[in-house]
Amino acid sequence: MRYLPLNDNDRAAMLHRIGVDNIDALFRDVPSAARLDGPVDLPLHKSEMQVERDMQALAAQNVTAGAVPFFCGAGAYRHHVPATVDHIIQRSEFLTSYTPYQPEITQGTLQYLFEFQSQVAELTGMEVANASMYDGSTAAGEAVLMAHRVTRRNHAVISGRVHPQYVDVIANLSDMGGFGLTHIPPSLQGTEGLLSAIDENTSCVVVQNPDFFGTVHDYTELADAVHARGSLLVVVVTEAVSLGVLKTPGAMGADIVVGEGQSLGNGLNFGGPYVGLFAAREKFLRQMPGRLCGETVDADGKRGFVLTLSTREQHIRRDKATSNICTNSGLCSLAFTAHVSLLGGDGLQHLARLNHEYGLDLADKLTAIKGVSLVNDTFFNEFTLELSQPADAVVEALAARGILGGVPVSRLIPDGGFENHLLVAVTETCAEEDRAAYAAALEEVLS
């Protein structure tokens, strides 16, 4: 048995040696709700050829974003990625070693990470950015942990309009670390009472812009009020293209900005890999997670790049680490950098305006339909509709007509009373004929 070298006697001897009665005891720290109580419902064995056939049949059941009019968002967005991006990320200048601890042989990696940092800092309006994070949700979790270190407090206040999956990640890290967390119940409109939730132990307030429901905010006044209470403001951005036209979080007074960079250079890929963005005020530099690349000169005075700061110190002093996050999503950050470089400042602004214009057009088309109302008073390229019927049933009916019409809010917030609310995202890939087809299909479904 080439791949199954142990028999029952071997396993029993190993369990006896480490002092446990059974294999289940090795997983006692995993909550019982997260463990299966039996084998996975799959055939015990099949030939390699049959497995390939079965997997291909399963894959064929998927409807890809590029195959039909596509209006799903909720933190992952379909944008056009120029073919040049794919060419650039395969060039040997950049395909150097994954971990750039030896700068003399990893100049390509260090250079694009340096450029990535520069772009993220400029887009977010912040002074420094790292290179980089795993994804947006884990970056948000790291931001809260960083705020605890900076303020020496251990309680966070989370807006109810932050993406629910980001909240889950923050809550998981807080629970495992023994930190406090106040999550304001999700709401579509009105004030959230964030300031009233702050006390002397609050390290940070976490908000999102545009928020989970698509509404655009200016958090300048909130930032001032949060700072007056000795706390930090963390701003989450899940749609990076919005930074092309909206007021930057830095200009609003944010202390830490985190987000998801998937929108630029990276396709949906059925859920990843993605790339987290992380930027902060320079005075908090030493408390940032991850690592930072810097520019220098070599012995001959030529421009070069080095790993200036590696705050996680995993490869040297793990006990001094600010974070144990173990990846920088290097290839995805390279794709991000290539796409932003190809767009340039004017190109990114044009792309963002196009997203907004298409979003306005579709919102007008859909709200002209009986049984459809728009929840948002402002939005970028994503908005929430209130329908006369349950949103999940409407989405299924639209899918049967070849339209992927959005994400039911109740899918991500199941107990919030949002059964009739639908989150719709519109990007530059949603052509006029796609928007018209959506309107016609929705009117038919609701009639």
Number of domains the chain is built from: 2
Residue 153 lies in a domain: yes
What is the pLDDT at residue 318?
67
Q: How confident is the model at residue 98 (pLDDT cuts 50, 70, 90)?
A: low
Residue at a domain's end among 313, 340, 367: 340
pLDDT of residue 2: 63
Residue 440 has a CB neighbour count (10 Å cut-off) of 14
The amino acid that residue 312 corresponds to is R
Which CATH number does the domain housing residue 408 bear? 3.90.1150.10
Q: Are residues 357 and 335 in the same domain?
A: no
Same domain? 304 vs 411: no
The mean per-residue pLDDT over the stretch 237-242 comes to: 98
- Structural domain of 392: 344-446
Query: Three-state secondary structure along the chain?
Result: CCCCCCCHHHHHHHHHHHCCCCHHHHHCCCCHHHCCCCCCCCCCCCCHHHHHHHHHHHHCCCCCCCCCCECCCCCCCCCCCCHHHHHHCCCCCCCCCCCCCCHHHCHHHHHHHHHHHHHHHHHHCCCEECCCECCHHHHHHHHHHHHHHHHCCCEEEECCCCCHHHHHHHHHHHHHHCCEEEECCCCCCCCCCCHHHCCCCEEEEEEECCCCCCCCCCCHHHHHHHHHCCCEEEEEECCHHHHHCCCCHHHHCCCEEEEECCCCCCCCCCCCCCCEEEEECHHHHHHCCCEEEEEEECCCCCEEEEEEEECCCCCCCHHHCCCCCCCCCHHHHHHHHHHHHHHHHHHHHHHHHHHHHHHHHHHHHHHCCCCEEECCCCCCCEEEEEECCCHHHHHHHHHHCCCECCEEHHHHCCCCCCCCEEEEECCCCCCHHHHHHHHHHHHHHHC
- What CATH number does the domain containing 298 carry? 3.40.640.10
User: Are 388 and 328 members of one domain?
Assistant: no
Considering the domain architecture, whether residues 222 and 264 belong to the same structural domain is answered as yes
What is the structure's pLDDT at 45?
Answer: 85
pLDDT of residue 27 exceeding 70, the answer is yes
pLDDT at 132: 85
Q: What is the pLDDT of residues 125-150, one digit of tens each?
A: 999 999 989 999 999 999 999 999 99
Mean pLDDT of the chain: 93
Domain contains 60: no
Query: What region does 256 belong to: left with phi over 0, alpha with psi -120 to 50, or beta?
Result: beta
**319 and 351 part of one domain:** no
Residue 104 in domain: yes
Q: What are phi and psi of 287, to 5 degrees?
A: -100, 0
Q: Looking at residue 311, what is its pLDDT?
A: 63
Domain boundary (303, 323, 340) is at: 340
Distance (Å) of CA 95 to CA 110, 272, 332: 11, 20, 12
| 173 within a domain of the structure (yes/no) | yes
Same domain (yes/no): 304, 410: no
287 lies in the same domain as 246 = yes
Whether 49 maps to a domain, the answer reads no
Tell me what pLDDT residue 266 has: 97
- pLDDT attached to residue 104: 83
Which pLDDT score is estimated for 317? 66
Return d(Cα 213, Cα 162) in angstroms, integer.
9
Q: Does residue 97 surpass a pLDDT of 90? A: no
Are residues 335 and 353 located together in one domain of the fold?
no
167 and 260 housed in the same domain: yes
Same domain, 358 and 301: no
Instruction: Give CA angle at 98 (94, 103), nearest 5°.
Output: 75
pLDDT reported for residue 262: 97
Find where tokens 């706390």 sit. 231
pLDDT given at position 3:
66
For tokens 């040049």, name the residue.
84
| 1 part of a folded domain | no
Of residues 232 and 109, which shows the higher confidence score?
232
**Domain assignment of residue 146, yes or no:** yes
Same domain? For 179 and 278 the reply is yes
The residue from 299, 315, 340 where one domain ends is 340
Residue 116 has pLDDT above 80, yes or no: yes
Non-local CB neighbours of 205 within 8 Å, separated by 6+ positions: 156, 157, 158, 159, 194, 198, 222, 226, 231, 232, 233, 234
Mark whether 304 and 366 lie in a shared domain: no
**Does some domain include residue 52?**
no
With beta carbons less than 8 A apart as the criterion, state whether 301 and 292 touch. no
pLDDT of 402 higher than 60:
yes
